Structure 1
């Protein structure tokens, strides 16, 4: 299909004027070169004027961009979408990585892939699958990293909300959409087979996905069926050099160095393992007549992880003072280098194995009762379970020589030498942590909706109303925490199969490798390890104080109206309404009291009920057909996590007179934190795949939930107790700018180029009478600035994407460490983070394409620190660079 400009000569002239104005703005912003500007100034006014090689084919990357733009333009809400290039074709492994390219989205990466997702810097999001609430066990939302991106049709990010959306996302709502058979004209089949190589893991793993869909005309009406599968295996390797916060070391050397400070531990972590994601989805649709549709659909997703962290826990001070020599960072009392001999050293392996399964099945119907009345109803069942084991075995040995440099390229260099580092016969079992647990979650969700469209044109264009009932349960329990000391004299070599050697690192951290317990042996032969360490094969007992069970019933009703009117010469479309939601919660748990007489568990329960009224309004002003202004308001809420509502408190009495007793627990008095959200935007759609938008937002919060340690008295004893609490007031404000365009006016092959760019600025924090130290500080985990730049190409069978994502530094933990000179402690800060990912595809035939993908192409190095990255560094982390090759086919 060819690019054309339709309309009267006057409208065409206006269109050219719009393009010229837009190009001038972009040129001023530095987004276009002068050559690109000249190419866009005078586009042809008729399709016949286009040269044959200027044909614009709307497929792949271009079609995805066009579809996402159309969703944004036509929506009632402030929304951003990302759409698959083709069936099952996203250049990312999971949904969280896909969303990282959406304006306002910030992600956190661990073990080489994106997992935590924030909207405008906040974690309070609601996650939906095809419009239905989805979650992971005891959480309020699903771990988006657990969903393979090959299952997606598109993902919508709602930044303003409306009465018909399920409540629960104070920051926004993410709705992940999958395909249905009526989305296609007839038989549709697709398959993708490929493999990805990880450079640090030195592994190549398969990725397979497929879908088949069809629809038939039958005697009982039209019937459609779809089935899809996905399998992704992913071996990974992450490297870390670390050091702990500096503490006083003025007596650690001989002679003593006055006011000396230094990290207590300096070491290395070697993290590797594998992830397996499998998913299946189906959808059935039946349309007995033009007015009725009945459907059933389901999704089953499983994530299986098996990985380990091998610690080299360097203890450079663990020897006599006369064997330690230090130098300091110029101008400070902080150690720069540490040399020691005959140093006690701990080696440790954390083995992890987990299985997370989520499934959701739904049956529903849509009925057009009359030409103006449409109704729908649906019932869904969602279950989620998570089972995990995490055995940890610490060993110890002596290092003959130790050389530490506390800051090399922003991280630590830890060189430990001696036979005990690599010889299992010189490494002794030290202590064992026997950890395991399980979480469960389930819900039954029913809703019914009705929409009425008046026959006569007037102010009101549409009325809708609906009810929802949700019955949710969640429970969790785990083993007792704490370590058990090993029997004396047992070496790692004395247990057949226990000894392994760490993997090779990509850079020199000082100690290239060391002998360590095998994680697979710890996980699969835990009873043998228990016997060797403790003399018994019995596992550590379940901790009854860790148990909690929550039952929650939610009742909701909403009413919504759409209106349309002219404000002078400008059309206005609006949607406003209110959602009323009532929540009843019953929580059961066990209080644990530890004393000289032993542990006592006391059952405790808490019942609560709350009703919230959530008004919302979204208005869209059409300044021109291609220029829109939006104004949106909504009251939103996010409920506390179930674990935060746990009424139980675990008490641990002090063993001495100078150490304060400690306790931890939930807070059943927690209230949902609410927000008054305001959004305003200006959007210019100057081409089918070209737009610019600017959005301003302000969220005023009440009761944002954070954690704090306070002193509480229980049975006459004062405990330093950690609990979540509701802060007072807070706010989040900022701006988003977005731009998208394909440069169709450029000559020849250059007309295939396009660009997507967005930038988000956020600022905000909370006030709290409970913890004044949080006053006027940004939200933990929130970057002030983030942006995406995505270069696109689509021409003559070639399509490509090169995406760069960047976010500024952010605070991870406030008051993370004690600081004698600063009672508030030092904040842990993550340095700016970035990622460059790309994909290249070529259509071998109209039905088959070959795809090349790459992630972390710049080999990003993560770093965090306390206050000063030179004086107080903590972690340096390196992740895999990934290159993938796949073959895609569709009929």
Structure 2
């Protein structure tokens, strides 16, 4: 199966735009206005470097460099990305987690210009895996050019590591950080080290670099959730009332550990040739113990205790009697590992430059989950939803009495993912002696990527035989974290009996202790397994141009991408009651035009315009051909099925950008951008009738179809205040604001919805002080309310889940000595922000999260 996708109108529009800008430009001369001379001191060089990257690139690019990353308490790369205009992040266990560029998570992720990823169902790299200290900088490409890797509907993010030729000679640097979480009440250490040397030898210029980073952080997260809304007819006479389906209160605590390293060798035997070899390794482990109590509404409640929010049918307060409870105490550990090795080089002669790169990337992700479950009953359970975080309390039952609990299950689950990529590319640029066209570039790339989940998610949960907690008291203990939502004034259950997650990591021993002899299966159901091989062949051509008598330059080009997918899985054959393998082979060809223009009104004032087509391929689990059919022998009209869809097409976007940028001096700039994206092929699950073996089933599959429109504006500003009174010198500021509006059809509601996890408003404000040996930063990141997801509730319908807007405050203070030693005091989440969400309306609370305030002491040595 073959399909070709291109929009010729985009090429015509790009050429028309170029001619429109070029025409009047020829009649203009450069203004001759010179930017005022400002000496950029070393401590400001990082801001100047990031500003230079933005100014000199032909596309619309934002950058952050390592000095700025390490001057704020950014534990991982995601946290550094949040300070870039137009980038929004999610949070996980108090750290930055998911990343979206202009509201879109469909992006291309790169390490030193080559594709990198974290194994899983998706395609992107998890930026939380990398310590910020390992990088030289981050470039965020918001527009596309033909020589860039395809795959980023939202944009591209390139992580740049240090190389030995970045330094003129020998460089040694290291840091030691001690960081403490105030909720976890534990401190952990973090170390980084870099050694680089560059020497002239008889064989040419040779450089070697080794960079290592180790981080360990103690963390704690408290989460309080109201159950999904359900309808009840027995709470208020004659009225159907929406009540929360109980409460869930979870304290999770553990360690997050990152170990990363890089080795880079560069050799330049002469001015024409340079070769390199590099290897990168990243490992990210999360160790987690969770203590969770769940209380459900019962059939009875205290007379007169039910109260509704005024003017609504939503329950505000009630006291349930004889309510069932369960307690889950589990270990949940995850490990990501990513390796990348690459060799390549660059050769120049006269007007021709050739570059080549060969790389191999492998990645794995593993989840372990296990622990004992308890159940019981409480005499009285009160919920009050009128407070910011719902209040809960229990009366009439001693939740620390082992006789009041019984063991119900011993859970055990594991889930692996793996992935690999072998890629080779060759690029050439021919510089032209032409009054308008300055160069022609062309290149090819071949890549083979694999992804799989064998042996699948292993589920070996087993019943505990009805034992009481008092029968095996060694496996229970009082909740060690009864100070739930400490310091927030939130009435909660807090003190109750829990299992011991430490025993869960010896899964065999725990199962034997409860008499569970059934072996753990070696593989999951074949219907849940998938394996995908993806071959990509790419060719591009691009020209760069510059007006001979006009202040305009840019590039325009075409990238052609052929992708072949080979996906395998299994399907059920109900008539034969068997499972059989299924394989699907498909291919698509995409033609992706792009153009970037830069128009210099004055030496310090630029206008930019860009247009492009971009794509992102579906996630791997969505492409799985596996099909599960569940016949209903009583009513065949209720036959159901679930499947992936190997016929899914890439998500495609047509993108337009206009920008204005003013560069007052090397560290002062103002910029604004407006953008529009028309996106086709968003993927959602659709249920439709299908015939299999002569029988009709209602099968749910992911399908393309939803179109979306994303439009917005960005604005930013940075400056040091050098014309203020002497006592104020050294003060500076960075500020940015993003507005994004998105619309996508929602088949469940029949209307439009915004894209998930996209705030309409986002802002960053960073206060800077740099003077003599003192450096300080105060950074506030804020995002407005956003749609998290939808949930379907019987009797209520499809409900949106909204996350309330929130802010996050970080700060640091550093003092540098003449011996190359810098001492810093830093803090993260200084406001101890409580994030919260709700179902559609504020009177239906969903969840609230509380994370540590982190305080760190850092010593940095540079030689």
- What's the TM-score, normalizing by structure 1? 0.89
- After TM superposition, the structure 1 = structure 2 runs for residues 716-735 of structure 1, keeping only pairs within 5 Å, are 719-735=697-713
Does structure 2 conserve the Cα–Cα contact (< 8 Å) formed by 1:810 and 1:830? yes
Alignment partner of 2:45: what SS? Answer: helix
Decide which moves more: 749-758 or 585-594.
Answer: 585-594
1:779 matched to 2:755? The reply is yes
Does structure 1 conserve the Cα–Cα contact (< 8 Å) formed by 2:47 and 2:68? no
What is the match of residue 818 of structure 1? Answer: 793
1:790 matched to 2:766? The reply is yes
What is the match of residue 31 of structure 1? Answer: none
Mark the CA change 1:540 to 1:495 in structure 2 (over 3 Å): closer, same or farther.
farther
Does structure 2 conserve the Cα–Cα contact (< 8 Å) formed by 1:163 and 1:577? yes
* TM-superposed deviation, 1:539: 4.8
* TM-superposed deviation, 1:718: 5.6
Distance in 1 (CA, whole Å) between partners of 2:370 and 2:629 is 24
What is the match of residue 510 of structure 2? Answer: 528
What is the match of residue 386 of structure 2? Answer: 407
Which of 863, 883, 886 aligns to 2:836? It is: 863
1:805 matched to 2:787? The reply is no
- After TM superposition, the structure 1 = structure 2 runs for residues 199-210 of structure 1, keeping only pairs within 5 Å, are 199-210=182-193
- After TM superposition, the structure 1 = structure 2 runs for residues 350-749 of structure 1, keeping only pairs within 5 Å, are 350-368=330-348, 370-409=349-388, 411-417=389-395, 420-454=398-432, 456-477=433-454, 478-479=456-457, 484-491=462-469, 494=472, 496-499=474-477, 501-503=479-481, 504-505=483-484, 506=486, 507=488, 508-529=490-511, 532=514, 534-536=516-518, 538-539=520-521, 542-565=524-547, 570-592=550-572, 600-654=578-632, 660-715=638-693, 719-749=697-727
What is the match of residue 855 of structure 2? Answer: 883
Does structure 1 conserve the Cα–Cα contact (< 8 Å) formed by 2:179 and 2:855? yes
1:302 matched to 2:279? The reply is no
* TM-superposed deviation, 1:145: 0.6
Distance in 1 (CA, whole Å) between partners of 2:311 and 2:503 is 49
* TM-superposed deviation, 1:256: 5.3
* TM-superposed deviation, 1:89: 5.7
Decide which moves more: 96-105 or 323-332.
Answer: 323-332
Decide which moves more: 495-504 or 622-631.
Answer: 495-504
Does structure 2 conserve the Cα–Cα contact (< 8 Å) formed by 1:530 and 1:538? no
Does structure 2 conserve the Cα–Cα contact (< 8 Å) formed by 1:323 and 1:340? no
Alignment partner of 1:250: what SS? Answer: strand
TM-superposition CA deviations, 1:200-231 (whole Å, max 9, x none): 11111111001000011111111100001000
What is the match of residue 151 of structure 2? Answer: 168
Distance in 2 (CA, whole Å) between partners of 1:631 and 1:542 is 51
Does structure 2 conserve the Cα–Cα contact (< 8 Å) formed by 1:250 and 1:261? no
Distance in 2 (CA, whole Å) between partners of 1:807 and 1:610 is 38
Alignment partner of 1:339: what SS? Answer: strand
What is the match of residue 292 of structure 1? Answer: 273
- After TM superposition, the structure 1 = structure 2 runs for residues 26-65 of structure 1, keeping only pairs within 5 Å, are 58-60=41-43, 62-65=44-47
Distance in 1 (CA, whole Å) between partners of 2:262 and 2:407 is 47
Does structure 2 conserve the Cα–Cα contact (< 8 Å) formed by 1:362 and 1:381? yes
* TM-superposed deviation, 1:625: 0.7
Mark the CA change 1:275 to 1:475 in structure 2 (over 3 Å): closer, same or farther.
same
Does structure 2 conserve the Cα–Cα contact (< 8 Å) formed by 1:812 and 1:827? yes
Mark the CA change 1:763 to 1:529 in structure 2 (over 3 Å): closer, same or farther.
same
Distance in 2 (CA, whole Å) between partners of 1:835 and 1:656 is 55
Does structure 2 conserve the Cα–Cα contact (< 8 Å) formed by 1:583 and 1:610? yes
* TM-superposed deviation, 1:520: 2.5
Mark the CA change 1:87 to 1:171 in structure 2 (over 3 Å): closer, same or farther.
closer
Decide which moves more: 295-304 or 697-706.
Answer: 697-706
Does structure 2 conserve the Cα–Cα contact (< 8 Å) formed by 1:266 and 1:412? no
What is the match of residue 841 of structure 1? Answer: 814
Distance in 2 (CA, whole Å) between partners of 1:751 and 1:293 is 44
Alignment partner of 1:496: what SS? Answer: helix
* TM-superposed deviation, 1:723: 2.5
Distance in 2 (CA, whole Å) between partners of 1:502 and 1:338 is 28
Which of 213, 221, 227 aligns to 2:210? It is: 227
- After TM superposition, the structure 1 = structure 2 runs for residues 174-193 of structure 1, keeping only pairs within 5 Å, are 174-193=157-176
* TM-superposed deviation, 1:199: 1.0
Decide which moves more: 521-530 or 464-473.
Answer: 521-530
What is the match of residue 39 of structure 1? Answer: none
Provide structure 1 residue ranges, at least 5 long, that are not aligned to the other structure.
Answer: 1-10, 19-44, 48-55
Distance in 1 (CA, whole Å) between partners of 2:565 and 2:251 is 43
Which of 284, 293, 296 aligns to 1:315? It is: 296
Does structure 1 conserve the Cα–Cα contact (< 8 Å) formed by 2:436 and 2:548? no
Does structure 2 conserve the Cα–Cα contact (< 8 Å) formed by 1:209 and 1:230? yes
The count of residues paired between Structure 1 and Structure 2 equals: 829
TM-superposition CA deviations, 1:355-396 (whole Å, max 9, x none): 21001010111111x221111111000000112212253210
What is the match of residue 265 of structure 1? Answer: 246
1:336 matched to 2:316? The reply is yes
TM-superposition CA deviations, 1:632-681 (whole Å, max 9, x none): 11110000111110011223445875994543321111000111111110
Distance in 2 (CA, whole Å) between partners of 1:81 and 1:573 is 21
- What's the TM-score, normalizing by structure 2? 0.91
TM-superposition CA deviations, 1:1-39 (whole Å, max 9, x none): xxxxxxxxxx99956xx9xxxxxxxxxxxxxxxxxxxxx
Alignment partner of 2:770: what SS? Answer: strand
Alignment partner of 1:773: what SS? Answer: coil
Does structure 2 conserve the Cα–Cα contact (< 8 Å) formed by 1:749 and 1:795? no
* TM-superposed deviation, 1:717: 5.8
TM-superposition CA deviations, 1:603-658 (whole Å, max 9, x none): 01110011111111101001001000001111100001111100112234458759
* TM-superposed deviation, 1:125: 0.6
Mark the CA change 1:878 to 1:772 in structure 2 (over 3 Å): closer, same or farther.
closer
Distance in 1 (CA, whole Å) between partners of 2:301 and 2:97 is 44
1:123 matched to 2:95? The reply is no
Does structure 1 conserve the Cα–Cα contact (< 8 Å) formed by 2:334 and 2:365? yes
What is the match of residue 3 of structure 2? Answer: none
Does structure 2 conserve the Cα–Cα contact (< 8 Å) formed by 1:629 and 1:681? yes
Does structure 2 conserve the Cα–Cα contact (< 8 Å) formed by 1:88 and 1:210? no
Does structure 1 conserve the Cα–Cα contact (< 8 Å) formed by 2:781 and 2:807? yes
Which of 240, 246, 259 aligns to 2:223? It is: 240
1:112 matched to 2:94? The reply is yes
Alignment partner of 2:233: what SS? Answer: coil
What is the match of residue 25 of structure 1? Answer: none
Mark the CA change 1:266 to 1:479 in structure 2 (over 3 Å): closer, same or farther.
same
* TM-superposed deviation, 1:336: 2.0
* TM-superposed deviation, 1:248: 2.1
Distance in 2 (CA, whole Å) between partners of 1:655 and 1:418 is 47
Which of 215, 236, 250 aligns to 2:198? It is: 215
Mark the CA change 1:336 to 1:661 in structure 2 (over 3 Å): closer, same or farther.
farther
* TM-superposed deviation, 1:491: 2.4
* TM-superposed deviation, 1:467: 0.7
Does structure 2 conserve the Cα–Cα contact (< 8 Å) formed by 1:527 and 1:538? no
* TM-superposed deviation, 1:719: 4.8
* TM-superposed deviation, 1:470: 0.3
Distance in 1 (CA, whole Å) between partners of 2:803 and 2:284 is 28
1:874 matched to 2:861? The reply is no
